[in-house]
Chain A
Amino acid sequence: MGKILKRYSLFILLLLISFILSIYSAKLIYDIKRASYENIEKKLEKALESTDKEVLNEFIETQGSTSYQNKDLYLLARVINGEARGEPYVGQVAIGAVIINRTKHPGFPKTISGVIYQPGAFTCVSDGQINAKLEPTALKAARDALNGWDPTNGCIYYYNPAKTTNKWIWSRKVMLVIGKHRFAK
């Protein structure tokens, strides 16, 4: 028995080490992933806290007939943030305006969350960019859009010609170009 143990001791040790190492590395990978998610969540919470608290009790009135509550503000800001970071300010307002235009259009869901979470409607929702760090300008742009400013003048589609392969969207009539985005009917 002792002889066998002696003979294979190195092998057993190596096996043990490799086993522990792989478990450890698997756990490490898991932890890193988890930490990054938690980090994103924490950053988001911070961003939400830092934007003035009074806003949370505020209701925004648009065009006299439809009103949007504050819950929509952050959702809208996040999509603007995910879709148009680095775009000119008006381009950001325009993305918000497209979402609001859709809620008023018979062919789309009637709520801001409905429009945003329609499958395939926004790339940033599908790929998780919607959870990226919220920039203050996105929040400001979302407010302008909710207050009724519409740089697109009624457009319900937009796309980035450099990134879009969807043939269907290319068939829509382009009305104006702001930054990298084409806005269409």
Chain B
Amino acid sequence: MSILGGYKELRERLKSVRLWSVMAVTLGILVIVALWGVNQYKGKANYHNYLTNMWHRAFFDMVGYVQNIQALLSKAEVSGDDRQRAVLYTEVWRNAFAAQENLSQLPIENNVALERTAKYLTQVGDLSFSLSKQLMSGKKETLLQQKQLKKLRAYADKLSNNLNELAIEISQGRLRWGEVRVVGTSRFRRIAQNVTSSRMLAVEAGFKDYPTLIYDGPFSDHISRQTPKGLPEKLISKEQAKKIALNFLNFKRADIVNYLGLSGDRIKVYTFEIIPDRRIRDRTITIAISKKGGKVIWMIDNRASSSPKIGVAKAKENAKKFLIEKGFANMIDTFYLKQDNTALINYIYQQNGVKIYPDMVKVRVALDTGQIVGFDATAYYMSHTSRKIPKPAISERQARNFISKNFDVQSVSLAIIPLDSGKEVFTYEFLGKYDGKYFADYINAITGKEENILEIIKDPNGILSM
């Protein structure tokens, strides 16, 4: 008899096998689900192992680097040879940056909270690097620098000890990396936070009274505390700032003006969001006015530009006119960049034929209407001041002797350039070619030291330096 027989027959058969079949189907599904689950679990365990290995690698590498920093710094304290110390300092720099890189990969729920430990590692490396450069130029460490180093070494000792304790617990399996999951139940998160994260945060607490460090490097504490040189002293109110903003944009009135806040550590600014026309809500202009001096520091107009109707030459003309109108005299254009149907042009100040690179203003011109849609004078107001530029102590010909013979010089001028440490130097700027590429080589006009080399990239979209 076939099971495809009559309906009645089938019903009867079904009755007899119903119980069995239901059980069998359930069992079958259970088995399949179980197999699938085991498979999933295996996959998850694999990933977990893989991640744990990566975290262990990062952690143990970091412990090693911190130990190296401590050892290298004490060696430098003992060493009496300048060249030897210069080498030791570069080693500290390398180890410190590697340590910080690994620290920032540790699966702490909120890795960002390890900010002070990271800052210590950055500064110990940065300071060492600047000392190494100082020693190479023939200057010994000052008493203050020796004191700073000793303090930093003491922190390295402490950090190294704390991390070693953690390392032992981790390698004995007593401490595990918590799950780096932001989503999940709160209980799960609490458990994760209770283990290694909190131990790392305890290490972080060791840097609570970490001192302010001032030295010759880009991550020194003085960088964020620089005060603007180019702003008038008078303080202005929020209401005055609003007027200045509307004036700058040549608006008699605007439909909506929103005040966003007072912010900034080097230049305090009132930031406003301006919607010129209520009906065109998505066009907004954001503008920042300095509290000190009431100057427009930057402006962004988000109006989208349509296809270009003017060229870069015309854009430069408009930008120059705009700068003169806003009171920036003696500005010359340097680099430019075409993107999003706009041209971004960098202007620098020129004093008696000397290019002043730190005094930089960026102007963005829309290539459809020629309108100014962006402006940034942060760099200009930070550094602009009436400078007394000395006469070069070495002649152009002498300076040429300090550059490579392979470098095919095409033009020379005098320039003041900014250094990473925030200082300025007076230099000869040699523009030229090497191996088909463009470079700018800067030779100190007083000492003859090579201060910087920039590669200049020219392509259809602009001229840039890097």
A residues with a Cβ closer than 8 A to B are 6-11, 13-15, 18-19, 22-23, 26, 54-55, 57-61, 63-65, 67, 88-90, 93, 104-110, 114, 117-121, 123, 126-127, 140, 143-144, 147-155, 157, 166, 168, 174-178, 183, 185
**Contact in complex: A109, B104 (CB < 8 Å):** yes
**Contact in complex: A22, B32 (CB < 8 Å):** yes
B394 to A: closest C-beta gap in Å: 24
**Contact in complex: A109, B379 (CB < 8 Å):** no
A1 to B: closest C-beta gap in Å: 16
**Contact in complex: A9, B3 (CB < 8 Å):** yes
Complex: A81 Cα to B33 Cα, angstroms:
38
A5 to B: closest C-beta gap in Å: 11
B residues with a Cβ closer than 8 A to A are 1, 3, 13-14, 17, 20-21, 24-25, 28-29, 32-33, 36, 97, 100-101, 104-113, 115-116, 118-119, 122-123, 126, 180-183, 218-219, 224, 260-269, 271, 273, 284, 286, 288, 298, 300, 302, 335, 337, 339-340, 344, 346, 357-358, 360, 362, 374, 376, 378-379, 417-418, 420, 457, 459-462, 464-466
Complex: A90 Cα to B362 Cα, angstroms:
17
Complex: A9 Cα to B286 Cα, angstroms:
77
Q: A151-B300, A155-B263, A175-B261 are in contact. List 14 more A-B contacts (CB 8 A).
A: A18-B29, A54-B459, A55-B339, A58-B337, A64-B379, A65-B420, A105-B119, A109-B104, A119-B111, A127-B183, A147-B337, A148-B378, A153-B269, A176-B271
Chain B residues closer than 8 Å to A59, beta-carbon distance = 457, 464, 466
* Chain B interface main SS type: mixed
Chain B residues closer than 8 Å to A120, beta-carbon distance = 108-112, 180, 182
**Contact in complex: B286, A151 (CB < 8 Å):** yes
Contact of A153 among B100, B288, B344, B465 (CB under 8 A): B288
With A107-B116, A154-B263 as given contacts, are A93 and B300 in contact (CB-CB < 8 Å)? Answer: yes
Task: Please give me the residue from chain B that is nearest to A26 by CB atom.
Answer: B36
Complex: A178 Cα to B286 Cα, angstroms:
10
Contact of B374 among A55, A104, A107, A144 (CB under 8 A): A144
B34 to A: closest C-beta gap in Å: 12
Chain B residues closer than 8 Å to A166, beta-carbon distance = 110
B453 to A: closest C-beta gap in Å: 13
A-B contact pairs, 26 of them (CB 8 A): A10-B13, A10-B21, A18-B25, A23-B32, A54-B461, A57-B459, A58-B461, A59-B457, A59-B464, A64-B357, A67-B466, A89-B284, A105-B119, A107-B116, A108-B115, A109-B118, A110-B122, A114-B104, A118-B111, A149-B300, A151-B286, A154-B264, A157-B112, A174-B261, A177-B260, A183-B261
Task: Please give me the residue from chain A that is nearest to B273 by CB atom.
Answer: A90
With A90-B273, A166-B110, A177-B261 as given contacts, are A109 and B101 in contact (CB-CB < 8 Å)? Answer: yes
**Contact in complex: B335, A106 (CB < 8 Å):** no
Complex: A110 Cα to B119 Cα, angstroms:
11
**Contact in complex: A110, B20 (CB < 8 Å):** no
Task: Please give me the residue from chain A that is nearest to B16 by CB atom.
Answer: A7
